[in-house]
Structure 1
Amino acid sequence: MRPLWRLNKYLYKYKGLLLLGIFFTVISNIFVIIPAQLVRLAIDYVVESFSIFKPIQLGGMGEEAQEIFLKFVFIFGLLILVMALLRGFFLFLIRQTIIIMSRRVEYDLKNEIFEKYQSLPLSFYRKNSTGDLMARITEDVSRVRMYLGPAIMYGMNLLILFPLVISYMISVNPELTLYSLLPLPVLSVSIYFVNNLINERSEKIQRSLSGLSTYVQEAFSGIRVLKAFVRENDSVRDFATASEDYKEKSIRLTKVNALFFPLIMALVGISTIITVYIGGLQVINGEIGYGVIAEFILYVNMLTWPVTSLGWVTSIVQRAAASQTRINEFLDEKNDIRSTENLEIPVKGKITVKDLSFDYPDTGVKALKNVSFEIGAGKTLGIIGTTGSGKSTIANLLMRMYDPSSGEILIDDRPIQSFDISHLRKNIGFVPQDVFLFSDTIGNNIAFGIDHPDKAIIEQAAKDADVYNNIVDFTKGFDTMLGERGITLSGGQKQRVSIARAIAKEPQILILDDCLSAVDTKTENAILNALKKIMKDRTSVIISHRVSSAKLADHIIVLDDGELIEQGTHETLMEKRGAYAELYEKQTQAGESIESDI
């Protein structure tokens, strides 16, 4: 139960609903006991009335006596019906309090987890899979809700009903109480073990279904590849194999489920037989009336579900504790990316990097080694290097997605750690290498970083990114809905929309992380020419493996395997005849050979 203690703050928050639920549970259980007493009185009344009915009938008063007897029986029946209706009404109120409380806690808990996810650094997402993150905010929270709702509701019902009924049964007949309740502990233990089997097999089915769903999703997403390599039959066969596994697990669960209700009914039947037998002996001996037997049978049936639910509730609590443990692991995650001074001063854009080194915490890969450079406010820096040279790592460090292992980064001669993180990132326009667009309209994707979107700003950003004409050619223009991850657009269009999104927020620092790799040379030139105006008076960092993308830069650095091997202007680097000049010549010759082939 220790992991579940964390939920006590929510129980305290909704203590009004919880206390009302307890109150309604007590009242509803009172209306459960009273009908059983009325049944006893009614049966005893009928039996006693029948013994005196014949003498009255012989005396010529039979019809009058019958009317009186039937009148009282009708009153008993009406009272039992009223009690049942009142109990049903209070059961409704119990669900309207406790179950609603559990749904509200579920809502709060999901928001708390999601907010925590949003506050955690990029390293957290690198070491945890998306599926695991989703499972903890959906399946694990649902299991915790079962503890807060049904488990608490049925647990309270057991704690309230059991003492009320048992104490009253003992007051009526202690011996009959003992015999009638003998099978109930066996029932509870049996249900506990059966329910554990059900839970175990249900989890296996869930995992099998998850695997099946993942396979289907991949098959549909990669349908072009499947068809191109003519693997449709193999895909169907693999799906049939996965479906067979799911079917077998489902059948195994059905076999266990088949034991559940027969087991309950068998043990309840045994308890009823014992009650009738022992009660019958006591009736013969004149110790009790017939009504007591009927009353005790009703009590046994009343206690059957609470006792049955004991095993079920125990299992729910165990599963909820396991799920809450998983949730707590993420809620207890610490974010080391914090601001030291929370500065929110205007950012001019001067960037100074001194002896910067970085090792990725999850893999230990050394991405940067003693890199130093400086770029003045409003100037443009080009970062050139091959794949894996550490270019994107610099972008992540400038965005404070990570903190450096050693060295320092200064913004306007202040340590980057001193700036408020949100304020810093609002002043940076970032175009990632791996473009991500949301399943929303093109206009909303461009306006994503703007607090108060303006149509004119959105359209101008699209023009500057050389994607405006493509957008207006769509039937709905900027209101065109994009598919998942922007699948509606081509690769080049997605990158240009991503650029428009970055420049629409009018940042003081603009970081382009190899964002022109999916566009042709003509489009690249058009975008770069448009960016000349955008980059004016803004500090810009152009990261690329293509030398042509860095031609706008005032200063260029060349990285190789995490080390800075050259830096300077385009002209000085060409004069050195080093790595930059070699890369430039290779790419230029490759471009010329492609054009001649065409």
Structure 2
Amino acid sequence: MKSIGRILRLAAPYKGLTVLNMLFNLIQVLAGLFTLTLVAPLLDVMFGNNKEVVKPKNINVNGFDFDAVYNKFITWLTEFIQEDKPKALLVICGILIVATIIKNIARYLALYFLVILRNKSIQNIRSKLYDKILSLPLSFFTNERKGDLMSRMSNDVKELEWSLMTTLDAIFKEPVTILFYVGSLIFMSPQLTLFVVILLPVAAGVIGILGRSLKRKSKKNQEAQGALLTFLEESLGGMRIIKAFVAEKIFSNKFSVINETSTKANIRVNHRGDLASPVSETLGIVVAAVVLWFGGNMVFNGELLPSVFIAYFAIFSQVIPPFKQLSNAFPMIQRGIAGMDRYEEVLNADVRIYEKADAKSISDLQNEIEFRNVSFAYGMETVINDVSFKIGKGKKVALVGASGSGKSTLADLLPRFYDLQQGEILIDNVNIKEFKLDDLRGLMGIVAQESILFNDTIASNIAFGVAGATQEKIEAAAKMANAYDFIMQAENGFKTNIGERGSKLSGGQRQRIAIARALLKDPQILILDEATSALDNESEKLVQQALDNLRQGRTILVIAHRLSTVRDADEIIVLEQGNIMERGTHNQLIALQGYYSKLYNMSISHA
């Protein structure tokens, strides 16, 4: 029940819809029950030899005499029928039609509100999950596979959707139906109903055992689906490399293995789930056979009128479908609970990048940025080791070094994409952890080596994150980034859609759009992570001119392998395996004839 409660909490924001669904389900049940309770007296009076109906034993609850009410109704019905049977039959047929119409209107309205409830709840689930994903630090995405996250957003949420609908039926509709129908059976024959009350819970227990097994298999299946999506996402993203290395066969074989694992997991889940329906139907027939045998003997012995037994069995037959639905619901609920576990794993993930309750605002850089004894590790692997340096306002500082030396990690620490383990980073002598995250990141513009663009127009990509950007400012930023000419040559100019991740643009064009985006933000601090590495020589020269114009009053942190782009830096920090090897201006480092000089000469020879 605790697990079911977890799923029901998803519908908690929509209590009004839940109440309406329950109300119309109740009306549906009562209307259906009303028509069936007429069977015994009608059969007995219209077609039986007796003119009286055998009365049940007196039932008195808190002073309310059910027996008296029932007998008054039967007496009135008997007299009405005896006066004019054809007219009575017509009236009864009309009552049955009206009751059926009421039942089905209530059924439709119950489903109507259930569909709204289900979809609103799932909308809320997706929004919460997506907002949580956006709030997580970059460290989370280095550990979690993108395909697995996509699976949680799609497959697991879909399982939750159907599980929620099934749970609402299993909790609010089917039990109410069974309760009212079994109550009527007790009223008609307590002795016969004893078998129903004993046998149905036993059958439900058997179904519960199947459900628990299904939950374990469902979780493994959903994990396998996540692995499949991850591999597919990687394949699509790396299609150029796959073809360049003629690796189609290798990836096809890998996909076959993962696909086979996913298929087997899915088959196991479906086989176990498919057991629920035949098992529940078999158990239902066993219970029905016991009732038929025992009730038939009661009729033979004169303990129960045939008409009452027919009515009893008609009502009992209506208990079987909701019981079967309830039994079948448990496997679906268990699959949903497995999806709920995976959903909550993300929802409960530690944000880690915390903002203090009394965090300070910051709107500009006054003096300097300082990295003071900074150390950082990815898990057990240290990538930054006791690094200290300062970046004065309006200065250009470059971080250089071989791949894996820690350059990009240092840049990621400044906007708090990660939090360092030792040391501190200060802006104007205040630890950056003291500032509001939005304010801190609002000071910075970032251009990465891999240009991240979105499936939208060129104008929207340049104006990304800048509220109220005018067309004039967008065009000015494009000109400064040397992007204006190729944009105007596009079919729709700035309104041209660039495709997923900017697939309709060349690498250099994507890079310049990303630079224009950073320029439009007009940040006080620019982080250029190998920002010009994708440009041709002419474009690089023009972009460098634009960046030089932008330097006035701003701080620039550059990370590059092409050392020719950082010769004009006010200071160059040379990193190797997370440690500072050398520091100084370009000329000073060349004069040292050390590690930087070696890197520079290598870059010149390759050029």
- TM-score, scaled relative to structure 1: 0.85
Tell me the CA shift for residue 394 of structure 1: 1.6
Shift of 1:9: 6.5
Q: Indicate yes or no: 2:36 matched with 1:19.
A: no
Find the counterpart in structure 2 of residue 31 from structure 1.
31
Q: Distance in 2 between matches of 1:517 and 1:31?
A: 75
Aligned equivalents of 1:219, 1:354: Cα separation in 2: 39
Quote the residue 2:102 is aligned against: 86
CA contact (8 A) 2:25 2:106 kept: yes
Match of 2:55 in 1: none
1:151-182 per-residue CA deviation (whole Å, 9 max, x = no partner) reads 12222223323332222212211223234566
Q: For residues 19-98 of structure 1, what are the structure 2 equivalents within 5 Å?
A: 19-48=19-48, 68-98=84-114
Name the residue aligned to 1:110: 126
Bigger drift between 464-473 and 581-590 goes to 581-590
Shifted more, 261-270 versus 531-540: the winner is 261-270
Contact residue 395 and residue 556 of structure 2 kept, 8 A: yes
Equivalent of 2:376 in 355, 359, 362: 359
Inter-partner Cα distance in structure 1 for 2:160 and 2:292: 42
Query: 1:303 maps to what in 2?
Result: 319
Q: Secondary structure at the match of 1:453?
A: coil
Quote how far apart the aligned CAs of 1:439 are.
1.4
- 1:443 pairs, out of 459, 480, 497, with 459
- Tell me, what secondary structure is at the counterpart of 1:32? helix
Deviations, residues 36-82 of structure 1 (Å, cap 9, x unaligned): 11222332233237999xxxxxxxxxxxx999544433332332232
Asked whether 1:463 is paired with 2:479, we answer yes
The alpha-carbon distance between structure 1 residues 139 and 389, as it changes in their structure 2 partners (threshold 3 A), is same
Greater displacement, 311-320 / 510-519: 311-320
1:401 aligns with 2:427: no
Change (3 A) 1:374 1:120: same
| Aligned-pair CA distance for 1:194 | 5.2
> Are the aligned partners of 2:407 and 2:559 in contact in 1 as well (CA < 8 Å)?
yes
Among 431, 454, 458, the residue aligned to 2:470: 454
Shift, 1:512, TM fit = 0.2
Distance in 1 (CA, whole Å) between partners of 2:282 and 2:573 is 81
Secondary structure (helix, strand or coil) at the match of 2:476 reads helix
SS in 2 for 1:105: helix
Counterpart residue number, 1:382: 398
Residue among 414, 423, 431 paired with 2:430: 414
CA-to-aligned-CA distance 1:478-509 (integer Å, 9 cap, x gap): 22222222222222221111111111111111
TM-score by length of 2: 0.84
User: Any residues of structure 2 matched to 1:515-594 within 5 Å, and which?
Assistant: 515-591=531-607
DSSP 3-state at the match of 1:29: helix
The within-5 A match list for 1:502-517 is 502-517=518-533
User: Residues 219 and 557 from structure 1, CA distance in 2 versus in 1: closer, same or farther, beyond 3 angstroms?
Assistant: closer
Q: How does 1:49-448 map to 2 (within 5 A)?
A: 68-179=84-195, 184-193=200-209, 224=240, 227-228=243-244, 261-332=277-348, 333-339=350-356, 341-348=358-365, 350-360=367-377, 362-448=378-464
Counterpart contact for 1:185–1:307, Cα < 8 Å: no
CA distance in 1, matches of 2:359, 2:264: 58
- Cα deviation digits, residues 202-258 of structure 1 (max 9, x gap): 666666666666666655555555555556667667767776777777777776676
Matched to 1:109, the amino acid is I
Match of 1:490 in 2: 506
Contact 1:380 1:542 in 2 (8 A): yes
1:455-481 per-residue CA deviation (whole Å, 9 max, x = no partner) reads 111111111111222222211222222
Residues 367-389 of structure 1: CA distance to partner in whole angstroms, max 9, x if unpaired?
A: 22222222221221122222111
Q: Is the 8 A contact 1:354 1:370 kept in 2?
A: no
For 2:47, what is the secondary structure of its paired residue?
A: helix
- Kept in 1: contact 2:363–2:439 (CA 8 A): no
Equivalents in 2 of 1:75, 1:226: separation in Å? 77
What one-letter code is carried by the residue in structure 1 that aligns with 2:42?
A: A
Change in 2 beyond 3 A, CA 1:404/1:223:
closer
Aligned-pair distance for 1:326?
3.6
Q: Equivalents in 2 of 1:542, 1:336: separation in Å?
A: 24
How far is 1:317 from its partner? Answer: 4.2
Could you tell me whether the CA contact under 8 Å between 1:392 and 1:543 is conserved in 2?
yes
Cα pair 1:36 1:295 within 8 Å, conserved: yes
Return the alpha-carbon distance in structure 2 between the equivalents of residues 109 and 146 of structure 1: 13
8 Å CA contact 2:32–2:103 kept in 1: the answer is yes
CA distance in 1, matches of 2:227, 2:541: 46
Distance 1:346 1:267, change over 3 A: closer
Q: What code does the residue aligned with 1:544 have?
A: A
User: For structure 1, which runs of at least 5 residues remain unmatched after alignment?
Assistant: 53-64, 592-598
Q: CA deviation at 1:428?
A: 0.4
Answer whether contact 1:349 1:376 (CA < 8 A) is retained: no
**Identical pairs, percent:** 32
* Deviations, residues 401-457 of structure 1 (Å, cap 9, x unaligned): 122222222213322222211011111001122221111112111111211121111
Contact 1:349 1:539 in 2 (8 A): no
For residues 327-386 of structure 1, the C-alpha deviation after alignment (integer angstroms, 9 at most, x for no partner) is 3343332434324753223313643324332222x4322222222222221221122222
The alpha-carbon distance between structure 1 residues 4 and 216, as it changes in their structure 2 partners (threshold 3 A), is same
Q: Is the deviation greater in 195-204 or in 292-301?
A: 195-204
How many residues get paired?
578
- Considering only aligned residues, what root-mean-square deviation do their CA atoms show, in Å? 3.4
* Preserved CA contact (<8 Å) 1:24 1:91: yes
Q: Is the 8 A contact 1:340 1:418 kept in 2?
A: no
